[in-house]
Amino acid sequence: MNAATKLGAYVLGLAVVFGGALGVGNAVGEVGPAPAKSEHEATHSASAADSDGGHAEATATAQDDTPGGLQVSENGYTLNPLTTVKPGEPTDFRFTVTGPDGRPVTDYQVEHDKKLHFIVVSRDLGSFQHLHPVQDGDGVWSVKLTLADPGAYRAFADFAPAGGSGLTLGADLLVAGDYAPKPLPRVARTATVDGYAVSLAGDLVPGQASKLTLSVSKDGRPVTDLQPYLGAYGHLVALRAGDLAYLHVHPEESVKAGPEITFYAEVPSGGEYRLFLDFQHDGKVRTADFTARAAGAGAAQPGADGHGH
């Protein structure tokens, strides 16, 4: 493997994981136009002239290896919040996504049952909301949003414009008032929500697809009648502590409605990640959250248990 091919494979790996809303199963080949023309890409295109399949695929999918959600503007698409949020007040939150022509995008592909997934987390990664805004004819999205406490939040729009590839844009939402950030919750293998216990098996390994199995139980009994939510039995969002790099993974196809939901996730570095699992049971969507650590070099976060699993 020459250096260019090797790097291409690495970039491809990241594209699979950080390609926005695209699930693990369908990402290869769907990752769209490469944004920045970096040096290695140029090398790549040149060497693709003699193309064997591997080269061609790597070239087609090579792109900026910046994880999703870190940029407010990418590939010509920009997330524009239009509403200021006050603490504790339900707000009709509005925003647009403008495209390369500067106008609000109105045509989107449906991914996981929705045209756009909107995730809002506090920057200390203590609070998480997964919302589905509605769009009016002019490309203005709106959603009822309540941010209970003052502080800094990150909003992610996860979407694929018609004819384009999946993108996750991120924008800060600043809510005025006295702000008391909480330390990152400790690394843990179990989470409880609304009387449900969810356990996490598997480890995050930087640069590798890692199998994560989440098992849901209630009152000590495995839950075997999970309900599909967004076309799957579970929906997992992972965010890197420190910069909130966004990773949106979906489960392995399963005909079993629990208790296990299996995901494949690939993280770009060591360090702590927050995992938020949405699952539906008895007609209600609930979110179980975990702090997990990927081995290897990564930013240490105050608060997370330094001697976890």
- Minimum distance from CB of 130 to Cu ion (Å)? 5
CA distances from 61 to 38, 100, 138, 169, 305 (A): 13, 20, 32, 19, 37
| Cβ nearer to Cu ion, comparing 6 with 132 | 132
| Cβ nearer to Cu ion, comparing 93 with 184 | 93
- Minimum distance from CB of 122 to Cu ion (Å)? 18
| Cβ nearer to Cu ion, comparing 230 with 241 | 230
| Cβ nearer to Cu ion, comparing 55 with 117 | 117
Asked whether position 248 contacts Cu ion by CB under 5 A, the answer is no
- Minimum distance from CB of 238 to Cu ion (Å)? 14
- Minimum distance from CB of 235 to Cu ion (Å)? 7
| Cβ nearer to Cu ion, comparing 27 with 116 | 116
List, edge to edge, every strand of the sheet that includes 284-294.
246-249, 235-240, 271-281, 284-294
Q: Mask 170-209, x = binds Cu ion (CB under 5 A)?
A: ----------------------------------------
d(CA 277, CA 258): 13
| Cβ nearer to Cu ion, comparing 36 with 134 | 134
- Minimum distance from CB of 230 to Cu ion (Å)? 6
- Minimum distance from CB of 159 to Cu ion (Å)? 10
| Cβ nearer to Cu ion, comparing 117 with 240 | 117
**Binding residue count for Cu ion, defined by CB under 5 A:** 1
| Cβ nearer to Cu ion, comparing 117 with 281 | 117
DSSP the chain: --HHHHHHHHHHHHHHHHSTT--GGG-TTT-----S--HHHHHHHHHGGG--HHHHHHHHH----PPBTS-SEETTEEEEE--PPPTT--EEEEEEEE-TTSSBP--B--BTTBSEEEEEEETTS--EEEE--EE-TTSEEEEEE---SSEEEEEEEEE-BTTS--EEEEEEEEE-S---PPPPPPP-SEEEETTEEEEEES---BTS-EEEEEEEEETTEE----B-BTTBS-EEEEEETTT--EEEE-BPP-SS-SSEEEEEE-BSSSEEEEEEEEEEETTEEEEEEEEEEESSS----TTS-TT--
| Cβ nearer to Cu ion, comparing 128 with 179 | 128
Task: Confirm if 263 and 214 have CB atoms less than 8 A apart.
Answer: yes
Q: Mask 86-125, x = binds Cu ion (CB under 5 A)?
A: -------------------------------x--------
- Minimum distance from CB of 41 to Cu ion (Å)? 31
Residue closest to Cu ion, measured at CB: 117
- Minimum distance from CB of 236 to Cu ion (Å)? 11
Burial class (CB in 10 A: 0-12, 13-18, 19+), 3: exposed
- Minimum distance from CB of 244 to Cu ion (Å)? 17
Summarize as ranges the residues that interact with Cu ion (CB under 5 A).
Answer: 117
